[in-house]
Structure 1
């Protein structure tokens, strides 16, 4: 069983970086914890300043002490933030007998060999909104959530020609062209009427998939950005939703496709009609008017060309742009999620993705403003399915939908061995990997991100584009463990509407299930399909996160992982929290820690405080089956 408790530790949370940099030139204090079991002769911090390494030795505190019951020594140094992205690592010089004689401590852990700078700790100017630190997001696919009580009935005469009207409780198709045309009739007023449900889960932020008129129910093929789809209630309904959300102290973000429009978009129609038009420069024509670049070879989704300054002004830049208009009153959105941000502005030798992010950030600062602490008021989140680290630097995206650093590792650890769901387009189903493999992914992948980017990325167990959590993990018990990981790990917990009910979904389209409001009230045939235990656990675990600063704003220390268990510690001056995640029964894990209080427990986990022969406190964690425990540690 790999155990990391007896290794030196530093993270980017407030215990180890008690005063983060707010501007260039700030002197930033750094701390390192060195357990007594890992004796060292000296420590030094290597900082890159203007590309040149600068080395400073750390000083040890006068007397050994205890941290959470473990004996050891705090070391400290101060470094100056010279560059907007200042990278640093620690050289740990051991005694060569009970510890490594030479090692590097980076965000990837203690490494016994020289390595590239990619996983160095980083001091960055955190300009993401402070409210995102405490956000819990509820994702809504508007057509499937709820229809307002006063909304008129859908009829063939009142819906677009593309729409096929569905009964509310019908199961959506999983594959085929019909998936884009199945109209259930959810609208924005329906969301207003069910905000109590959203808040009951501990969520305080809503993320809406697109709301613009289009040629499909998913609305990623917008026909204009100037209006809100009449099927959703129009602009007046968005204003009503904004007022209702903000009256509750909640926030909401909208979804914008900067990579492409629909082929019925007014810009594209003008572009096709006139090769000399301004709009013709908005798209990547290879042979006007019918040959053009498109998203994943889908003809109805022509790709935008951000080399056009006119396009960027109309879509991204300034208060009159699409980005600016919906951030301003009366809509007053609190941010944007950018669809396929990994592809936006990129085509062959063209790479303007960072420019797109920079343009959006500039408009958000101009329209939504900044807080007293200098951090921006609006949140910018990017869809990205793999390694997003290069796009999360400087004034790039504030965070990403962290599929690579959260969703897929959690899936692969908790997966039902017989899930039969495709894995990343590869010729295999989702694998069932060990805790060692999953812990390594969680640790090493996220070490490549600036810590504020990890904290401000969305952690989701499923979304409108993926299978649902229940279809991945197979059982209620393992879904609760997945929810515990969602509450415990850095990132912004994000729940896709319906996941809290334990609903299945084998594809993204099949997962776009309508909400069973009658069933939640105990009425109708869908009442028996709701997993009330998962619903309870969703609220309990996400509210627990809201109660504990360590889970929302703390650093992270991995303590142990084995095939069926992951143990981690969230560090924070208000009190550290240990989290034990078990996917199945496992042998006891003993740690040299002092438990103060069992905060929450689900399933088959057990926590026992022990003495030892030396009198030092110990903590034993075991499990008879899937479960989780959250334990407050004694300072």
Structure 2
């Protein structure tokens, strides 16, 4: 815990009126990035302050007892400083304000009404401790060195796995081409990663998929055979664990590839498919329309149109009007290769939660990085978190949240 000062009053902590100039202080008690509870029950306060901030305090008032908790300067970036402190709550509600001292000695006081010349009774934040969300990070993940690997481009360890159409290893990568990286290549370089001091390998998606990025999964229970399959993945996990290195998988549960089994059933069976409620289809059978006059020869879709029809069995229909490409089903950002899955449907939700549990239980995966989290309803992530932690409480969960996280309630 950081040093704590006992104060006589919290009206003006620094004994003078606060600086009322506009200041860039970012703190929202409703945002778990700013205020959360650790596994031990401590409250974790975080906020951004001006670049010329010299000291920051969380000032907690409980009746006549006033304690100023000195915050730790975590870092500086451009025109802001980032501060953090842990406070052990002693009451059911925590009433507090923020005090900052700039390097010229002038103070800033910050309460529920914003920057103020002093903290009055109505200015203090007042939050029920029980309402503050838990933000649990496993001890092993604190300060861990994470090394990200895009499997197709890291190393080739087994040439027999390399697709015949793969580009030469030294060739410049292309948007959709393969270059033959695989899991044996990662295994062969584990000593190198250990020497670097890597604690956690973050693998971009490895599940079966027609693409090199694999965010459009065909089979969530199968590691792509051209990466070495499930057997190579098990070998990687075991070899990494022997070196004290953990493994984090990456996946999108929001959308899959049209070759995903339930969507294939939808293509062949139609609206009577048991999986029809998993997807939002506006016109059966599911199909894609495209504009040849806009695509042929020069558009990013030129090389993907024929491949989409061949891989999925869907009709891909040329049209003379409308957008460049469109699908008769809801998809991520309108990309036909990524039909969206309705995770409010109980069966779809169970399926995806089982996916996450499976790789933790059967293969000893240590962490998950979840793609496009903000596109999925909040309650799915709390269900997923609880289910994974029933299997292994020390699993680390990382969410991709693009944009301003204060505007999106998307973390568990």
Question: Scaled by the length of structure 1, what TM-score is found?
Answer: 0.42
| Alignment size in residue pairs | 301
SS in 1 for 2:223: coil
- The one-character-per-residue Cα deviations of 1:449-495 (angstroms, maximum 9, x if unpaired) are xxxxxxxxxxxxxxxxxxxxxxxxxxxxxxxxxxxxxxxxxxxxxxx
Task: Provide the residue aligned with 1:272 in structure 2.
Answer: 267
- RMSD value over aligned CA atoms? 3.8
Aligned-pair distance for 1:57? 3.9
Matches within 5 A, 1:331-342: 331-342=363-374
- Give the superposition deviation at 1:45: 2.6
Instruction: Say whether residues 1:196 and 2:198 are aligned partners.
Output: no
Matches within 5 A, 1:298-313: 298-313=335-350
Shift of 1:117: 6.0
Summarize deviations over 1:299-346 as a string: whole Å, max 9, x none. 111011012100111111xxxx111110013x1101211111122x2x
CA shift in 2, pair 1:219/1:116, >3 Å:
farther
User: How has the CA–CA distance of structure 1 residues 205 and 111 changed in structure 2, closer, same or farther, with 3 Å as cutoff?
Assistant: farther
Number of the residue aligned with 2:405: 388
Cα 1:243–1:55, aligned 2, differ >3 Å: closer, same or farther?
same
Q: How does 1:279-428 map to 2 (within 5 A)?
A: 279-290=275-286, 291-316=328-353, 321-329=354-362, 331-343=363-375, 345=376, 352=377, 354-368=378-392, 370=393, 377-389=394-406, 396-397=411-412
Unaligned runs of 5+ in 1: 1-6, 12-19, 31-37, 47-53, 62-76, 157-163, 174-178, 346-351, 371-376, 398-635
Residue number in structure 1 paired with 2:246: 251
CA change 1:183–1:310 in 2 (3 A) is same
Counterparts in 2 of 1:44 and 1:299: CA distance versus 1, 3 Å: closer
Shift of 1:199: 2.4
Residues 184 and 232, structure 2, Cα contact 8 Å, conserved in 1: yes
Larger RCO, structure (CA 8 Å, separation 6 or more):
1
Q: Say which of 138, 143, 150 aligns to 2:147.
A: 138
Aligned to 2:24: none
SS of residue in 2 equivalent to 1:328: helix
| CA positional deviation for 1:130 | 1.2
* Residues in 1 aligned to 2:68 and 2:224: alpha-carbon distance in whole angstroms: 62
Which residue in 1 is equivalent to 2:160? Answer: 152
Deviation of the 1:258 alpha carbon: 1.1
2:119 maps to 1:104: no
How far, CA to CA, are the matches of 2:232 and 2:282 in structure 1? 40
Q: Which residue of 2 aligns with 1:451?
A: none
Q: Report if the CA contact (8 A) 2:252-2:372 is conserved.
A: yes
Instruction: Tell me the equivalent position of 1:603.
Output: none
CA–CA distance in structure 2, aligned partners of residues 92 and 55 of structure 1: 19
Q: Deviations over 1:172-219 (max 9, x none)?
A: 13xxxxx12x11111111101101222233221001111111111111
Alignment TM-score, normalising by the size of structure 2: 0.64
Distance 2:188 2:100 in 1: 61
Q: Does 1:129 align with 2:138?
A: yes
- Measure the CA separation in 1 of the matches of 2:189 and 2:333: 36
Say which SS state the counterpart of residue 292 (structure 1) adopts: coil
CA distance in 2: counterparts of 1:155 and 1:123, whole angstroms: 50
Whether contact under 8 Å (1:255, 1:336) holds in the other structure is yes
